[in-house]
Amino acid sequence: MSPFSRVLSTFFALIIVLFFLINTTTISTSFFTYTSVFSHFLATFHGKNNHHYSFNDQTDQPNLSLRRSTWRNPFIAFKGINDISPSSVFTKKNISRAISPDIAKCGPVELPPNAITLPYCCPILPSPLKIIDFKEFAKPNAPLRVRKPIHLLDDEYMAKLEKGIAIMKSLPENDPRNNIQQAKVHCVYCNGGYPQKPPFQNLKIDIHRSWLFYPFHRWYIYFFERILGNLIGDPNFAVPYWSWDSIEGMQMPKYFANPNSSLYHHLRDPRHLPPYIVDLNYHVNAESTTQDQQVKYNLAFMYKQMVLADTKEVFMGGVYRHGDQAQPAIGSVELAPHNTVHKWVGRADLPSQEDMGTFYTAARDPIFYPHHSNLDRLWGIWTSLDGGRKDYRDDQDWLDSEFFFYDENLNLVRVNIRDSLDTKKLGYVYEEVELPWLNASPKPSRSKLQRQEKKASLLASSQDPMTTTITKFPLVLDSKVSVVVNRPKKLRSKLEKEREEEVLVMEIVDLHSDKDVKFDVHVDDDEEMLSGPDKAEFVGTFTSVPHGRHKSKTKYLVAISKVLEILEAEEDENIVVTLAPIVGKGLVSIGSIMVEYIPK
């Protein structure tokens, strides 16, 4: 070895020794998290500081500040962070695994291809960083804000919303109440801008396709409402809701179609202006139908997504804890009408149907807020069905999960899910309208005998003229396909059905989340002429909003207990599940399809 090589080896050995001597934080489990003076030095030397930044909406350029966050230490390779699993870290059952974003480590978000903005969504942070905990519950005798359906409001009330949005748009770009800054809050939580806290800082947080979906958006609309009310000088102002689930509300509200209004947005599908009826099962290639037929489809579709989805897992989405991968399972209404209305409003001729049609820009459109006000209302309605349905409120990790929002006084506020469960404590309620979908139970498209004959024919052959019956997974969904799925239990008693929901569980192992994907799911249907959304055989639809991740995994759950009753198939040992790709053929793979029984 040459003298130079010996000197170089000695130098690097000293660096490693100094690194372990100077480290200020070690965790003696199967991993280490490093924060040290030395790592700050290396970060400076290599120019790899993680800066906080705001975003210039006019120039699409980041505005960097010099507030530095810890750079990941280069020696982390000694024990890779990817080797860490929740089971190796959380060895005690009483350790909290509640999700909480590391807001000081915000970074560029993941955008779909051909995005129309740069990936800088990090909200502005105060300097010095000061966070207050939420404590502003409504006083017991204080008047409640009443969120009303837009179609029942007069011009005077809507003028207040119009004024508030106009003021938000006029605020300085670096004001957290500015409409673009408000939109960034949605972007950063929905497109992976925040990492989880150590030791899982390599995992990005995404509030979609999980149990975080409803409570996050409840808090988001809550603070938006407070900011808007403060700006117009009316603390009792409530954000109205777009009641697309009621017959009178099944079109874009006229106030949002006026080009001279602050509620107007140029990036919307011009084909869907009023009086065009919204399609709650929409896709970009959807064929037009009559208004009466569309209303019928919508009501039956709402019945399936709300009434039949009677477990928390099916309606609210999957469990998502600290250390878990994002997007565990998506809830019924989040899939549709949430996703479908987003895409119905967005421009179909843009790559990701911006603005409403993709999460990174959705909240730039003022109609986003009445849309999500309605979704918040539907969450409350769902919990009241059947005398009271169970959500996740017996799970401490769900209750303790945290988010951060600015209030009307520019305070950065930390909130948790626990404090969001009673809207009256937050100072608001909803004015209800009729729910015609409650009585829109779908009917079968054909008789029991016809279904049995078709099913027997399909089971007797390995191939059908119009589709393929398969048993091997994973399955790339590039064409219509049917799968025979066994039912572990048949002819369940009334008590058994009251205790457990029979659920069709589809494991999605490879989803191109940066693309528009939609497939419909049918049970014991005629593959040559599949039923529409108003029929019982049509049990659900999976539809994705371009999300930024190139590929992802999730689960799709469909409740089928009532469906099997309607189809008179409760005694069958198996069902035939048909998957029909509508948009994005070949962009999703199914890892398995099975029946499970989930407690209600």
Joined tokens for residue 472? 């091997």
CA distances from 226 to 45, 92, 127 (A): 45, 40, 23
Biggest CA-to-CA distance, the chain: 90
User: For the CA atoms of the chain, what is the radius of gyration?
Assistant: 26
The CA-to-CA distance between both ends of the chain, in Å, stands at 71
Joined tokens for residue 246? 């009621």
Catalytic residue from among 151, 208, 272, 512: 208
Is the CB of residue 36 less than 8 Å from the CB of residue 73? Answer: yes
Rounded CA gap, 237 and 408, in Å? 13
From 313, 334, 382, select the one nearest 190 (Cα to Cα).
334
Residue recorded with tokens 């994907």: 517
Q: Strand 463-464's sheet: what is its strand order?
A: 463-464, 467-470, 481-486, 574-583, 517-523, 538-544
Catalytic residue from among 32, 55, 216, 217: 217
Catalytic residue status for 512: no
Is the CB of residue 68 less than 8 Å from the CB of residue 47? Answer: no
Hey, which bits of 275-399 come out as E strands? Answer: none
547 assigned ligand-binding residue: no
From 202, 33, 2, 170, select the one nearest 102 (Cα to Cα).
202
Can you say whether the dihedral through the CA atoms of 76, 77, 82, 84 is positive or negative?
negative
Going by C-beta distance under 8 Å and a sequence separation of 6 or more, which residues neighbour residue 348? 269, 271, 284, 357
Catalytic residue status for 359: yes
CB atoms within 10 A of CB 513: 24
Catalytic residue from among 342, 371, 522, 547: 342
Going by C-beta distance under 8 Å and a sequence separation of 6 or more, which residues neighbour residue 596? 502, 503, 505
338 assigned ligand-binding residue: yes
CB atoms within 10 A of CB 582: 18
Rounded CA gap, 352 and 546, in Å? 6
Is the CB of residue 242 less than 8 Å from the CB of residue 188? Answer: no
Rounded CA gap, 265 and 255, in Å? 11
Indicate the residue type of 394.
Answer: D
Catalytic residue from among 272, 372, 512, 522: 372
208 assigned ligand-binding residue: yes
What b/e readout covers 89-100, taking b as 16+ CB neighbours within 10 angstroms? bbeeeeeebbbb
Catalytic residue status for 186: yes
Catalytic residue from among 52, 186, 272, 322: 186
Alpha-carbon 8 to chain mean position? 52
Indicate the residue type of 366.
Answer: P
Is the CB of residue 564 less than 8 Å from the CB of residue 524? Answer: no
The two beta strands, 481-486 and 538-544, are unpaired
Catalytic residue status for 371: no
Contacts 24+ apart (CB under 8 A), 253-260: 253/150, 253/151, 253/367, 253/370, 255/150, 255/158, 255/161, 255/162, 256/366, 256/367
Catalytic residue status for 52: no
Catalytic residue status for 283: no
Catalytic residue status for 40: no
Question: Residue positions in the annotated binding site?
Answer: 186, 208, 217, 338, 342, 372
Q: Which residues are catalytic?
A: 186, 208, 217, 338, 342, 359, 372
Question: Residue positions in the annotated binding site for Cu cation?
Answer: 186, 208, 217, 338, 342, 372
